[in-house]
């Protein structure tokens, strides 16, 4: 990732200083001496080590019930669903957001999903979403293909499972 930013920075500096090379006689790209082709292919990374994901913003849903049992059951199912999707390799980031004026409640980053429709179907397996306590917005996001690699480490640092 730092190489991508360095390459872009060098291109911008060259353009600002009037040192652009329209005939491409000078290659300003940097190759990575640590490049692991097998790992990049396993993770689905492109030449920049990046890939597309679906970034989901969870927000307060239309259901305003005060039935505590229903709410607790739905959110217990929400947490269980997060665990299931993570084990299936479909969810690699999940977490709540702090209070905000947009009623945004949390985020998901979905992995190995081919379309917005597939993401939508997957999200509707979440009881809190299915019951209208949460709603969502889906965006495509281009990020590091290495993102899923943090999951094995994250499983070693939690003390209490919610």
Domains for the chain: give ranges and CATH numbers.
2-34 (no CATH), 50-154 (3.30.70.1060)
Sheet holding 91-96, edge to edge: 91-96, 104-110, 50-60, 134-144
Neighbours of 17 (CB within 10 A): 8
- How does residue 21 score in pLDDT terms, banded at 50, 70 and 90? low
Nearest alpha carbon to residue 62 among 138, 122, 123, 134: 134
pLDDT at 98: 96
Q: List alpha helices for 1-156, DSSP H.
A: 2-16, 37-43, 68-87, 116-123, 127-130, 151-154
Both tokens of 51, joined, read: 């890939």
pLDDT digits 0-9 by tens, 42-83: 999 999 999 999 999 999 999 999 999 999 999 999 999 999
Rounded CA-CA distance 70/132 in Å is 11
pLDDT at 117: 97
- How does residue 14 score in pLDDT terms, banded at 50, 70 and 90? low
Average pLDDT over residues 129-146: 97
Rounded CA-CA distance 62/65 in Å is 9
Give the bridge partners for 57, in sequence order. Answer: 107, 137
pLDDT at 30: 83
Provide the b/e sequence for 129-148 (b: ≥16 CB within 10 Å): bbbebbbbebeeeebbbebb
């Amino acid at each position: 990732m730092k190489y991508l930013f360095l390459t872009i920075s060098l291109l911008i500096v060259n353009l600002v200083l009037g040192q652009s090379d329209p005939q491409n006689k000078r290659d300003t790209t940097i190759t990575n001496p640590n490049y692991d082709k097998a790992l990049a292919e396993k993770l689905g990374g492109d030449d920049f080590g990046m890939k597309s994901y679906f970034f989901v913003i969870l927000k307060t849903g239309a259901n305003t019930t005060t039935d505590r049992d229903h709410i607790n059951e739905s959110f217990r199912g929400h947490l269980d669903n997060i665990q299931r999707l993570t084990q299936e390799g479909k969810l690699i980031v999940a977490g709540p957001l702090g209070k905000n004026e947009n009623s945004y409640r949390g985020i998901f980053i979905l992995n190995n999903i081919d379309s917005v429709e597939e993401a939508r179907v997957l999200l509707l397996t979440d009881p809190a979403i299915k019951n209208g306590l949460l709603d969502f917005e889906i965006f495509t996001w281009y990020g590091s293909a290495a993102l899923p690699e943090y999951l094995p480490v994250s499983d070693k640092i939690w003390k209490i499972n919610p």
